[in-house]
Structures are given as structure tokens and as C-alpha cells.
Copies of this chain bind each other. A is one copy, B any other.
């Protein structure tokens, strides 16, 4: 019994019956088939000025920031990183099926001069700032339109003229208190469970973990309220957070993200929407925004 229940494929026809002899569906290209066919121009490198390396004892987490959506927040995080604010701070929270969060557990470490204490909320952006949006045809309960913007899952509402990044797995947000301008980037979280999409438009989403997510997602769950660690020794210490542009070329992690505005990416989405082959018996002909993979590869 091999357990390759990810492979295989599907069909637009809803075979909603039990049938031990269901016919195999015709083969279809998988996401990895499509990635193999891609051309160099279907990919872009990460912008070193918008890439963070968070080095943990277990390895490196690579975060791509999204200045189209959160320019001021990205600038503040850059300032914090450049003055080494995050170095020696901790993973302070791991709430099952929700988020992993890092920062200063005691909120005592002085902030650098160049970083701001308050940053205007960037919960949404004008659609005009979001030039590379490509809409998915799939319906969504949380937003009028969903799709991808330059490698990030996003949504928009034509009625309000606003666009925003969505809380899919691996998306990085800026913790805040009750005041909308109380998140300055000194504490960040990553989505580590089922997408808490109700947070969309309520908090600044600043980027995505493009590599190293398994280092964060397995952090032992905190037993305090909201998954905060109760004891200092439960926390994992952050060695350093650097802007890729400040790291010598030889020490950079070289990743590329598939261009979500490229035609090939629509084939990736379609491969997730409708699978084929011998394993899949029924296809939903639908893919939820957060189930559409965004391919990343080493250069």
C-alpha cells in the first residue's frame, strides 16, 4: 500500500459514489510537471532589499517582503534589522493551527533610532499599488476577488478600490495591539495552520516565508494563553535577522519565485484545481486561494 495520495488526478465529473472499480481518470500535468517545463523567464529572483534572513539555531528562514502592500512597514523592518534589533530575541509564541510569533518577550529591548515606534496601518492598499494582480476564477467567501500579486496571495474589493494580502499558510504579519498603528514590525508572526482569513484587512501583512517554513511550523506549542511560551527556557533564540542586500553574495540564499503573472502560473493553478491520473476519482474543479501553490526554487 503506497500512500501517494497527493499524486494522481481527477476529473471535472463529480463521481460522488462509492465504487471500488472507479475508472482511472485521464492523466493531467501535475504542478511538478509544469515546473519542469518552465523557462528561466517564468521566474524572478528575490529582491535583496526586500528579503529577510532569520537565522535560527536550526537553520535559515527566508522571508520575502511585499513593499507594494506595506511599504512603510517594510521600511521599518529594514531599519530594525539593520540596527540588529532582532538579534538575540526569541520565538515567543506557537499556537497550534494558528501562528508562530517572534520578538522581545518583555518588550524591554531599546528600539534603534531609525525605526519608528508607530507605523501607519497598511492593512489594505489602493488597487493602483497592486499592478501585478492576476485574478483566479474561483469563488471565495472572504473577498469579492482573489488571486496573486507578484508572488503573494491577495484579494481585492472593486467596490472599495482596496487590495490586500491574505492570511494563507506562511504569510507573515505584524502583531499589533488594539490601536491600528501599534504594529511597528518589532513583533512578527507567520501563519502556521489553516488560513485565519478573518484577520485579513485587520492587520498589516508584510510578506511570506519562501524557505525554511518547516523550521518554524514545528516549534513546540506554547501552553500559555494564545500559545505564548510560559517559561523563558521554552523559547528559541534568534541568532540574527539580516537584509539579504547586506549579506555578502556568497552567504546569500539564492531562491527564485515563479512569476504569478506569467501564463505558466495559470497552469499551476489549474493543476491544483483539477487533478488527473490513477489516484484521483473526483475533482472539485475548484481551488481555494490558499491551496494554490506558489512555486519557489533554488537558483
Contact = CB atoms under 8 A, between A and B. Distances in A.
Contact of A5 (B21, B139, B203, B286): B203
A288 B197 contact: yes
Contacts of A193: 169, 193-194
B281 A97 contact: no
A4 B168 CA distance: 19
A179 interface: yes
A185 to B, nearest CB: 11
Interface stretch (A47-55, A81-89, A120-128): A120-128
Interface residues of A, number: 88
A20 B194 contact: no
Interface centre among A97, A121, A288 (most CB of B within 10 A): A97
Contacts of A121: 18-20
Interface of A: 1-6, 8, 10, 14-22, 24, 93, 96-98, 101, 107, 120-124, 138-143, 157, 160, 162, 164, 168-170, 175-184, 186-187, 189, 193-203, 213-214, 217-221, 226, 272, 275, 278-284, 286-288, 290-291
Given A96-B213, A169-B193, 20 more contacts: A1-B175, A1-B176, A5-B202, A6-B226, A16-B201, A18-B180, A20-B121, A24-B178, A96-B214, A180-B281, A193-B193, A194-B194, A195-B288, A197-B288, A198-B283, A198-B284, A202-B282, A217-B217, A218-B218, A218-B220
